[in-house]
Amino acid sequence: MEILGIDIGGSGIKGAPVDLTTGTLTKERFRIPTPQPATPEAVAEVVNEIVTHFEWKGIIGCTFPARIKRGVARTAANVDKSWLGTNAEALIEVRTGCKTVVVNDADAAGVAELAFGAGKGRNGLVLLLTFGTGIGSALFIDQALVPNTELGHLILHGSDAEHYAADSARKKFDLNWVDWAKRVQEYLDHIEFLFGPDVIIIGGGVSKPNKSIKFFHLLKTEAELITAVLENDAGIIGAAYHARHMAGG
C-alpha cells in the first residue's frame, strides 16, 4: 500500500509516495519553497501542486508545525498566526480533492522512527526530540503515540527551552558545538527529571552524521541516547504512515 506523505516546513514543502510496508519513498521527493507569507490558502495551494505533480488521487498525510487536534491547528508558535483555529485537514481536502490526515511534524517524525528507524521495536517510554528552528517532541509509551506534547516550550532559564537550546539558538548566539551541547545537556537533564524516559532519540537536522559527530559524544543521559536515522524523509514517511488508518491499515 502507498500513501502520499507531505512535510510542511518553514522553508520548504516536500512530498513523495511512501511504501507503508518498507517505509521507503517510491518516487523521488518533490520540494517547493514555502510561500511567504505562509497563509493557509497559500500553503494549501503548494500542497495541491505536489499532489498534481504525482498525479495523486488517494489519501494523503501531511505534517504541520503546530498542535493538531481533530485536524485543527491549535497553536501558531512558529507559523503564520492566521493558521490558529484553521481546520487544516478540511482546507487541504477541499483544495486537493484528496482525503487528508494532518499531524504535528515532530509526532510524524517520531512515528516514522518507531515504525522504521531508530526506535523500531523499542518499548517503554521513548522520546524523540528534534532540534531545528525550535525543539519538537514526540512521546511514545510502548509504541503508542501521546500526541502534541510540545516539550520545546518547557521553561528553562525563564523562557521557552527552544529559545535556549534549539539549533536556531546555536546559530543566533554564534555558539560553537561544545557550548551548544552544554545547553542541550541542560535541557536533557530537565527532560529526564520530569519524564524519566527509557530511550531518547535526537532528531532534526543535527542528527545527520556530519553534524552529530560534533556534539553527540558530549551528551550524557540515564536514558539510552541515540540519533534518528531517517533524516529529511522522516516527516514524509511518518505523515503517510500516520494516515494509514483511513485506508483501514
**What pLDDT is recorded for position 249?**
61
- Does residue 135 sit within a domain? yes
Tell me the percentage of the chain whose pLDDT exceeds 70.
99
195 and 217 belong to one structural domain: yes
- Give yes or no: residues 35 and 100 share one domain: yes
Residue 247 pLDDT level (bands cut at 50, 70, 90): low
pLDDT at position 245 is 83
Taking residues 112-141, what's their average pLDDT? 96
Residue 169: domain span: 118-229
- Residues 97-114: what's their mean pLDDT? 97
Q: What is the pLDDT of residue 10?
A: 86
9 and 87 assigned to the same domain:
yes
Quick: pLDDT tens for 155-203: 999 999 999 999 999 999 999 999 999 999 999 999 999 999 999 999 9
| Same structural domain, 125 and 88 | no
CATH code, domain with 127: 3.30.420.40
Q: Is residue 113 one of the residues assigned to a domain?
A: no
Residue at 138 is within a domain: yes
In-domain check, residue 58: yes
Instruction: Please check the confidence at residue 18 and state whether its pLDDT lies above 80.
Output: yes
Residue 15 lies in a domain: yes
Share of the chain above pLDDT 90, in %: 94
Q: Identify whether residues 76 and 131 lie together within a single domain.
A: no
Answer yes or no: is 112 within a domain: no
Residue 181's closest CA among 134, 155, 214?
Answer: 214
Q: Can you tell me the mean pLDDT for 4-10?
A: 95
Domain count of the fold of the chain: 2
Mean pLDDT of 137-147: 97
Residue 246 scores a pLDDT above 80: no
Q: Is the pTM of this model over 0.85?
A: yes
